[in-house]
Structure 1
Amino acid sequence: MHSDIQVVIIDDDAEITEALTEMLELDDFCVQAFAQPEKALASLHADSPVVVLSDVRMPRLNGLDLLARLQQLDAAIPVLLMSGHGDIPMAIEAMKEGAYDFLEKPLQPEHLLSRLHHAIDKRRLVLDNRSLRQNLEARCGLEASIIGESAAIKGIRQQVLALAQANVDTVIYGDTGSGKDVVARALHQCSARRDKRFVAINCGGMSESLIESELFGHEAGSFTGASKRHIGKIEVANGGTLFLDEIESMPLSLQVKLLRVLQERSIERVGSSTPIPVSLTVLAASKDDLAQLGEEGRFRKDLYYRLSVASLSIPALRDRPEDVLPLFHHYAQQACERFARPLPELSAAQSTRLLQHDWPGNVRELKNAADRFVLGIGESAMATDEAPGGYEERMDHYERHIIREELKAAQGQLNAAAQRLNLSRKTLYRKMKKHRLDKQLFKAGEDDGS
């Protein structure tokens, strides 16, 4: 049951040690016993996957001194002290010094097992968190920027490497807050243009005249208020990468000019007829399907086809829960540096709430949650207060979880998942649409027509 975390028993009474070892091993604990605390200490190191159960009164090194030595070695090792002397002041002192618990002999088996279970859970969580932090610190290159352990994110990292080497114009799709800008920067950093400029412009929220000037630049006197020449973003990005965020909101009249830039690789500043050659890679990001917008007349089809030499899609965070904790630790570490705060310990309950939350705001919402966690702004720091509360909301949340797990088990095969859920294929499909679940995210390979 607990093969990953060992219980280290330290007691100079051989009968007690033998009895405790037998009881714990029969309950599936992994046990190592020592009669001498010095030998136990010699076997341990920081990050040892252990909890310690030690007697207090021993001849050469008593329990409190042992506790102090263990605190120096690794303050997060749970130490449970036991004594048959009913020493209340000593128990109080031990708890003050950081003991996990103080147990009175004769030990009550059920109470002992319960406390050991809790201590092991705590140690496991501490070691898991340390491992995540160490993995983040060890990351380099793409893994340091596009963080995650899900199959989808691993696939995106492979796509980024391939597209960056091909140096082609690319459209990045994803919901708001999913990290499209992070992927765009990674494409630039992995390309041969990495030493040149990465220039980003948000096409949303700007007037048509302003965005035209920002993109193409203007000559002095070209319009009222243009007192001097202004170099536009496209020209500034010459030699590097231009990132057009929220391109779906670019006015149609400007889409014509952008299409000309992509075709001819040259621009004309507003108020000038002199062509200026530019060499750059254009990356565009959209939360909407540009092909669909093209069909609806809200985006130029010719620009869509010219931009979409390649494309990649970032799944919503709710569809890749494996990435939640690595991302949370990454942003928490960044917040610690930004706010000059120590990194708090993430409890098991907090980890569970993070994993259960749907993250409608995606990675951006998770980053804000990490900031609040580091700042210690109450329980809201975990950003999970929005979790479903009413009966229908809870049932929807539960239904989505079940369907997602069965799709994962069936590797995206709808027939198999429907059979496992005892649903018709049509009903499963309807529920997948309701919960915005995409079978492609669960597939291990090509399915058989489902």
Structure 2
Amino acid sequence: MSTTTASIPSPAGPLAGAERASESWPFWNILVVDDEQGMRNFLCKALAPRCHAVMEAGSAEQGEAVLRAHHIDLIILDISLPGKNGVAWLKELREHGFTGDVILITAFADLDTAIEALRAGASDFILKPFRMPQILTAVRHCWERSRLTRENYILRRSQSAEGIQRGGLVGSSGAMEQLWQAVRRAAAVHSTVLLQGESGTGKELVARALHALSARAQGPFVPVNCASMSPELIESELFGHAKGAFTGATRARDGLFHYAQGGTLFLDEVAELPLALQATLLRALEDLKIRPVGSERLVPVNVRIVAATNRQLAGEVAAGRFRKDLYYRLQVLELTLPPLREHKEDIPELAAHFTAQLAPALGADPLVLTETERSFLMRYDWPGNVRELRNLIERSLILGALNVSALYAQPPAARLTSAAGQPTDLHTLEKQHILSVLDSVQGDKTRAAQLLGISRRTLERRVAEWALP
């Protein structure tokens, strides 16, 4: 049993040069199981330059040892092996939850053998003697199928997740510049990162930036909202499960750790994880191995963890709701995202960014803010942070004018501040703002109502309450 790495040169002839460059499967680990040393050497030398690592074994028993020590994405398996044959071992692998691809090769086969192999869960079936392009084509098909499955799964999760914001972090204030410098430093290493900040401050955007700037940028970015998953199913979601692990588990399934292989797993709202699962997660982070639910097999993983929470984890630890050892394991690098009220100078830039981003998608005219409206945005405390500003811009683009009326419906905590920084009565501020808008349009109530995002009747009722003409 041995491991072949990409340092081994590819064979000469038709496999070199352009074809080698076009046939590559980064982050994939391949295991070749064949009792013929020459065949193993041939396959390993051809495959090694094209993938992350190629390992070899001369029997099913040796192959089992490799699987216990390494994560394997694809097995090229000879049917005729000493001891346990390839088809029998493949059946056992599937029963124990191995979900990677398996290409069976053999010099002695008939139709019945091929059917048995495919029923056992083989991805492809190749007869010896074969030419290397046949193997490369089969591997490429497995790689493409795996990649599409992974991308579709991640896409479905991303589309169903709430609060996902797209685009980069925006802002040139001192607070944002300091954050970006910290992100660049953290992206250069492989350590676990903990992001802390209020809801809506852009923790997922920072996590995506950490991934995009890291050496794992070509791997997948898998976001997980820990608060949105059922406590009963979250372990299966993260680590996968074996067939029959629980009622309804009619087949083995990979977890999100598997889909994040070679990339980044983003655990949003990590403070919501149940205590029992926190212990399992800690063990996975320390050992870099996971155990699917209902399986005895430990699966090695190559994943970077970025965790996020809107709670103060130190307080959660003190209250007994979060494990201290997991907190310290996640806190290798800790970044705190500032709330929008602490860098309000970025609001005009953010508003312009969201307008440019959303207006074409909505088919709306760009939003041009007046000085009065800018002043209002700068005085508002933004309890929902950048997400709340984005939602306001989107509503306003749809309505055709800045829709500040929605902000007046906020709870008391969503207060505004005066120029002196003191809280101002919300009704008084509403009156000041409406009068300011009326003044800016020389008393044109129709135009003022449009700018305010309310009906003219509502505006007239407000003016009548204040006994104004």
Under TM normalisation by the shorter chain, which class is it? Answer: 0.5 to 0.7
CA distance in structure 1 between the aligned counterparts of 2:420 and 2:350, rounded to whole angstroms:
23
- Quickly say closer, same or farther: Cα 1:399–1:147, change in 2 above 3 A: closer
Letter paired with 1:267: I
Choose the corresponding residue for 1:320, options 335, 338, 343.
Answer: 343
Distance 1:367 1:399 in 2: 24
Gaps of 5+ in 1: 1-143, 404-450
What is the TM-score normalised by the length of structure 2? 0.52
The equivalent of 1:234 in structure 2 is: 257
In the alignment, the residues of structure 1 paired with residue 221 and residue 175 of structure 2 have an alpha-carbon distance, to the nearest angstrom, of 25
Alignment counterpart, residue 228 of structure 2, candidates 186, 198, 205:
205
Residue 356 of structure 1 corresponds to: 379
Report the equivalent of 1:337.
360
| Structure 2 CA distance for partners of 1:381 and 1:227, relative to 1, 3 Å | farther
Name the aligned partner's letter for residue 195 of structure 1.
Answer: Q
Which of 233, 236, 245 in structure 1 is aligned with 2:268?
245
Per-residue Cα deviation, 1:172-224 (whole angstroms, up to 9, x for no partner): 00001111111111110110001100001111132222111110111121110
Q: What CA distance in whole angstroms lies between the structure 1 residues aligned with 2:243 and 2:411?
A: 57
| Count of matched residue positions in the alignment of Structure 1 and Structure 2 | 256
CA RMSD of aligned residues (A): 2.3
**Is the contact made by 2:379 and 2:418 (CA closer than 8 Å) also made in structure 1?**
no
- In structure 2, the residue matched to 1:161 is 184
| Equivalent-residue separation in structure 2 for 1:337 and 1:189 (angstroms) | 26
Corresponding residue for residue 176 of structure 1: 199
CA distance in 2 between counterparts of 1:251 and 1:377 reads 45
- TM-score, normalising length: structure 1: 0.54
In the alignment, is the contact (CA less than 8 A) between 2:265 and 2:304 conserved in 1? yes
Query: 2:270 touches 2:309 (CA, 8 Å); kept in 1?
Result: yes
Contact 2:225 2:269 (8 Å CA) reproduced: yes
The 3 A distance-change label for structure 1 pair 275 and 388 is closer
User: Which amino acid is the alignment partner of residue 367 of structure 2?
Assistant: P
Q: Measured at CA, do residues 278 and 387 of structure 1 come closer, stay the same or move farther in structure 2, by a change above 3 Å?
A: closer
Give me the whole-angstrom Cα distance separating, in 1, the residues matched to 2:264 and 2:409.
Answer: 38
Inter-CA distance 279–382: structure 2 relative to 1 (3 Å threshold): farther
Q: Does the residue aligned with 1:226 lie in a helix, a strand or coil? A: coil
Quick check: 1:401 aligned with 2:428?
Answer: no
Cα 1:399–1:253 change in 2 (3 A) is: farther
Please report how far the alpha carbon of residue 386 of structure 1 lies from its aligned counterpart in structure 2 after TM superposition. 5.0
Where do residues 49-88 of structure 1 align in structure 2 (5 Å cutoff)?
Answer: none
Give the Cα–Cα distance (whole angstroms) in 2 for the partners of residues 167 and 174 of structure 1: 22
Structure 2 residue aligned with 1:87: none
Give the percent of matched residue pairs that are identical in Structure 1 and Structure 2: 40
Residue 342 of structure 1, CA deviation: 2.4
| Secondary structure, aligned partner of 1:380 | coil
Amino acid at match of 1:243: F
| Alignment partners' CA distance in 1, 2:420 and 2:338 | 16
Partners of 1:267 and 1:278 within 8 A in 2: yes
Match of 2:323 in 1: 300
**Structure 2 unaligned regions, length at least 5:** 1-166, 424-469
Distance apart, 1:385 and its partner CA: 3.1
Q: Tell me, what secondary structure is at the counterpart of 1:199?
A: strand
The yes-or-no answer on 1:370 pairing with 2:387 is no
CA distances 1:133-152 after superposition (whole Å, capped 9, x unpaired): xxxxxxxxxxx712112111
Matched, 1:194 2:214: no
Counterpart for residue 284 of structure 1: 307
Deviation at 1:310, TM superposition (A): 0.6
What CA distance in whole angstroms lies between the structure 2 residues aligned with 1:169 and 1:227?
A: 34
Q: Is the 8 A contact 1:353 1:384 kept in 2?
A: no
Residue correspondence of structure 1 range 41-56 to structure 2 within 5 A: none
Equivalent position of 1:88 in the other structure: none
Q: CA deviation at 1:280?
A: 1.2
State the AA in 1 paired with 2:254. I
Deviation at 1:289, TM superposition (A): 1.3
Aligned residue identity for 2:281: L
What SS does the aligned partner of 1:200 have? strand
1:274 equivalent among 289, 294, 297: 297
Could you give the per-residue CA deviations for residues 297-355 of structure 1, whole angstroms, max 9, x where no partner exists?
Answer: 11000000111101010111011101111111111111112212221322222111111
CA contact (8 A) 2:221 2:266 kept: yes
The reply on whether 1:311 has 2:331 as its aligned counterpart is: no
Secondary structure in structure 2 of the residue aligned to 1:208: coil
Match of 2:208 among 162, 185, 196: 185
